[in-house]
């Protein structure tokens, strides 16, 4: 087994961290033993304590909790360099949860003379000193993974010398977990009602207010239509105050039963203003639910407009309402799109394919180092 170390300095647990777990799980049958290093302050620590330890059957062979208090703590550098020199790892895979993260890891790995793979999970533009530091970090990478075409183009702007190190590998999911789930969640709707679902952090960048505005336009025309919002976040209070008393709008908060909620839905909508990839769109498609998403970031890679879902302009409730109306009034077309979407997920976006492509990147880095 080839020993790999995953590293992140995130305090959170979200889409990037889920992808790390899924990748580690699917690398194991391909001959890779994956361990994780993260800060002791991270939410990943609690998950490690509960179920991620190797001896508990978790996805990581071993977890190293660095005695750091936040992502700026310089002990990330000293502790990681020590671990890389003594741990027997063949390479380090650095997972950037935002463009300015994990900077200490690049220097630690370079000083330990170990190949560096970097995956950017949530790209956006940096300026000034942050841009310069990011450029220096990426220059130390042996291979770089972009999760979408937009991400790939963005990383290309950091210099011509990086272009031969860039690799496009889309995020993946275990489609059967969603499609084969036959249980439906208990939602606050009546039998025969129509359900639009949005699963996302309640944050301005996720654009829920535009979906709520679109829903209000549709209510008179479709009185049995319900909107279910799953998630928590900084916009929760404001959205509830403005829309919480409108009939058929439901705020469900944080939920663990996402596959069951998707199975109980008729339409899934992700109205983000900016979306790094849109993993939940894949989950909806794998559940057999037609997906509508805004035309930005990774969602453009996932959805073929009119074939496997619909793309709409961001911040445009009128167009969003129009597309939802089209779906609700064309049930045969809806079924055809849902069928095509499921097939697309299985053939293009499986976790197994993601892991296999990642091993090719690892082998390129290792052979170059040799």
Overall number of domains in the chain: 2
Q: φ and ψ at 34, to 5 degrees? A: -110, 125
Residue 25: C-alpha distances to residues 75, 171, 248, 356 (Å) = 28, 14, 40, 12
* In a shared domain, residues 344 and 357: no
* In a shared domain, residues 38 and 95: yes
* In a shared domain, residues 243 and 319: yes
Name residue 182's beta-bridge partners: none
* In a shared domain, residues 308 and 358: no
Token digits of residue 38: 């993260």
Token digits of residue 359: 């091993």
* In a shared domain, residues 120 and 197: no
Rounded-to-integer distance, Cα 136 and Cα 184, Å: 49
* In a shared domain, residues 183 and 150: no
The CATH number of whichever domain residue 239 belongs to comes to 3.40.50.2000
Q: What is the dihedral of CA 56, 58, 60, 62, to 10 degrees?
A: -10
Beta strand extents in 102-258 (DSSP E only): 116-120, 143-146, 166-168, 194-199, 225-230, 249-253
Q: Please give the model's pTM, rounded to 2 decimal places.
A: 0.93
* In a shared domain, residues 165 and 295: no
Per-residue pLDDT of the chain (370 residues; tens, 9 = 90+): 899 999 999 998 888 999 999 999 999 999 999 999 999 999 887 776 655 444 445 789 999 999 999 999 999 999 999 999 999 999 999 999 999 999 999 999 999 999 999 999 998 888 889 999 999 999 999 999 999 999 999 999 898 888 899 999 999 999 999 988 788 898 999 999 999 999 999 999 999 999 999 999 999 999 999 999 999 999 999 999 999 999 999 999 999 999 999 999 999 999 999 999 999 999 999 999 999 999 998 999 999 999 999 999 999 999 999 999 999 999 999 999 999 999 999 999 999 999 999 999 999 999 876 5
Q: Which residues contact 36 (CB under 8 A, 6 or more apart)?
A: 5, 6, 7, 20, 24, 44, 48, 52, 60, 62, 63, 64
Domain span at residue 354?
2-172+350-369
* In a shared domain, residues 239 and 335: yes
Got the DSSP string for 99-128?
TT--HHHHHHHHHTT--EEEEESS-----H
* In a shared domain, residues 167 and 190: no
Residue 313: C-alpha distances to residues 94, 299, 348 (Å) = 33, 12, 24
* In a shared domain, residues 185 and 308: yes
By the 8 A CB rule, do 63 and 35 touch? yes
* In a shared domain, residues 134 and 221: no
| Helix (H) / strand (E) containing 343 | helix 331-348
By the 8 A CB rule, do 120 and 143 touch? no
* In a shared domain, residues 39 and 142: yes
């Amino acid at each position: 087994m080839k020993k790999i170390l995953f590293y992140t300095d995130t305090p959170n647990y979200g889409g990037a961290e889920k992808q790390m777990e899924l990748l580690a799980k699917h690398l194991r049958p391909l001959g890779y033993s994956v361990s994780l290093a993260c800060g002791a302050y991270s939410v990943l620590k609690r998950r490690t304590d509960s179920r991620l330890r190797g001896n508990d059957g978790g996805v990581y062979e071993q977890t190293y909790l660095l005695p750091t208090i936040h992502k700026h703590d310089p002990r990330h550098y000293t502790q990681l360099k020590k671990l890389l020199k003594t741990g027997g790892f063949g390479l380090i895979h650095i997972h950037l949860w935002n463009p300015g993260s994990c900077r200490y890891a690049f220097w630690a790995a370079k000083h330990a003379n170990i190949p560096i793979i970097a995956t950017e999970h949530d790209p956006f533009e940096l300026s000034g000193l942050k841009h310069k530091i990011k450029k220096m970090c990426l220059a130390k990478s042996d291979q770089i993974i972009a999760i979408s075409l937009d991400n790939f183009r963005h990383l290309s702007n950091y210099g011509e010398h990086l272009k031969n190190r860039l690799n496009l590998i889309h995020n993946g999911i275990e489609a059967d977990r969603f499609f084969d789930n036959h249980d439906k969640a208990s939602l606050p709707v009546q039998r025969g009602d129509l359900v639009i679902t949005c699963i996302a952090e309640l944050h301005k960048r996720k654009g829920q207010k535009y979906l709520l505005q679109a829903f209000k336009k549709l209510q008179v025309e479709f009185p049995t239509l319900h909107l279910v919002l799953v998630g928590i976040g900084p916009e929760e209070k404001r959205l509830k105050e403005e829309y919480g008393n409108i009939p058929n709008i439901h705020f469900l908060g944080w939920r663990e039963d996402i596959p069951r909620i998707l199975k109980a839905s008729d339409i899934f909508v992700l109205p983000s203003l900016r979306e790094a990839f849109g993993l939940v769109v894949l989950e909806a498609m794998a559940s057999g639910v037609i997906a509508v998403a805004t035309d930005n970031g990774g969602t453009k890679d996932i959805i073929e407009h009119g074939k496997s879902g619909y793309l709409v302009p961001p911040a445009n409730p009128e167009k969003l309402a129009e597309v939802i109306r089209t779906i609700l009034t064309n049930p045969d077309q809806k079924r055809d799109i849902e069928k095509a979407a499921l097939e697309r997920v299985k053939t293009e976006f499986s976790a197994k394919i993601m892991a296999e492509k990642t091993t090719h990147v690892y082998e390129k880095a290792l052979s170059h180092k040799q």
